[in-house]
Amino acid sequence: MKKRVVAVRRLHAEQLARLEREHHVDYFGELDQHTMPAFLEKMQKAHALIGGKLDVDEELLARAEYLEMIATISVGYDNFPVEALTRRGIAMCNTPDVLTETTADTGFALIMTACRRMAELDRWVREGKWQSHVVEAQFGFDVHGKTLGIIGLGRIGAAVARRGALGFNMPVLYSGSSPKPHVEEELGATHCSLEALLTQSDIVCVTVPLSSETHHLLGAQAFKMMKSSAVFINISRGAVVDEPALIHALETGEIRSAGLDVFEQEPLSLDSPLLNMPQIVLAPHIGSATHETRRSMVNLAIDNLLAGLAGQRPPNIVNPSAWASTQ
Ligand code: NAP
């Protein structure tokens, strides 16, 4: 039986067609003030919601009385009230794995760009300041051989670690609740406390999910512990970092530089002091933003949705108890 699906995100024609072959689809390329009333109306009848960057709250759930599942086009699901979904028996699906390598590429690009000052020196060349050979004022810092600290050695953290250990001969430290023997064996990585990681790493990269436990995991104390030569990379979620504390650490030279893909407020506010720091690298949340990976993420989200609506357990479900309660 065809069900009602609300899709929010630009989909390729063949992806939309795949959904429409199986179900009635109400498609919103973007949600804005013009499309929001129609979206809210369609949610009243929807059995499934698929999309990215969705704001789902209790109010929306109260309207959506037929909703059986949500398929987000992201691995992170911190913007969804998972407990409330589970209580209502609504399955929550995400898109892990297909974005791991691309997001790790982004992390390593930020490491390289910050350490070798690529973005800063690109601007310097364009501004016509390259008048003679470069001097120490333009020198950067080596990446190879430096100690790489990964906070949260999951899929993406391990992929960043792999690039560092195998490609750049970097000793790897990692923190997290459990040691990962397979990664230790593969990369010679060392499990340690967060404090040890912060004090010993030259490059600190955060790859934890955002949760009540990791909210502001990195604050003033953490930045004080880091080497004054340290470079800080965040490719997880902005709110894992206390941003004013990071800004203070950069302004006062507690740490040297940063490469940031995610921010507490996105898009970054035009009055953020981060915009006035030439030595740091800023990216507009592009961790998984390549043509290939975004296409794979949508395909996986559709796999999840079609399986779930057909009564089969979706390949990627983050609240299995919600699924079990409806079977
Ligand atoms: P994952 O495989 O679940 O890995 C997350 C790791 O974080 C887990 O292995 C866990 O290790 C660790 N962790 C959890 N709480 C921790 C804590 N308090 N301290 C230290 N480690 C902790 O997830 P993933 O696929 O790698 O994705 C990670 C996150 O990256 C996503 O949730 C998403 O928010 C973010 N992301 C961002 C982008 C972007 O565009 N910038 C793209 C993709 C993903 P333990 O079990 O050992 O604690």
* pLDDT one-digit tens code per residue, 5-62: 999 988 999 999 999 999 999 999 889 999 999 999 999 999 999 998 888 999 999 9
Transcribe 31-73 into DSSP letters: --TTTHHHHHHHHTT-SEEEESS----HHHHHH-TT--EEEES
Return d(Cα 186, Cα 180) in angstroms, integer. Answer: 10
- Residue 237's CB is within 10 A of a number of other CB atoms, namely 23
> Strand pairing partners for 203?
148, 231
Residues 6+ apart with CB under 8 A from 146: 115, 168, 170, 202, 203
Contact 309, 47 (CB under 8 A): yes
Q: How many CA atoms lie within 13 A of 26 on its CB side?
A: 20
Q: CA-CA-CA-CA torsion for 182, 186, 191, 195, nearest 10 degrees?
A: -140
Is the overall model pTM greater than 0.95, yes or no? yes
CATH number for the domain formed by residue range(s) 4-96+291-325 = 3.40.50.720
Is 266 a catalytic site residue? yes
* pLDDT one-digit tens code per residue, 115-129: 999 999 999 999 999
Average pLDDT on 269-298 reads 98
% of the chain surpassing 70 pLDDT: 100
Cis peptide bond prior to 267, omega within 30° of 0: yes
Which residues have CB under 6 Å of ligand 1? 75-76, 96, 99-100, 103, 151-157, 175-178, 207-210, 213-214, 217, 235-237, 261-262, 285, 287-288
User: Fold identical between 4-96+291-325 and 100-282?
Assistant: yes
Q: Which amino acid is at 18?
A: R
* pLDDT one-digit tens code per residue, 187-240: 999 999 999 999 999 999 999 999 999 999 999 999 999 999 999 999 999 999
The tokens for 43 are 């949610």
Distance 213 CA to ligand 1 centre (A): 12
Q: Would you say residue 147 has pLDDT above 80?
A: yes
Every domain of the chain and the residues it spans: 4-96+291-325, 100-282
- Residue 145's CB is within 10 A of a number of other CB atoms, namely 10
Phi, then psi, of 185 in degrees rounded to 5: -65, -45
* pLDDT one-digit tens code per residue, 153-199: 999 999 999 999 999 999 999 999 999 999 999 999 999 999 999 99
* pLDDT one-digit tens code per residue, 280-293: 999 999 999 999 99
CATH number for the domain formed by residue range(s) 100-282 = 3.40.50.720
Average pLDDT on 303-312 reads 97
Is 285 a catalytic site residue? yes
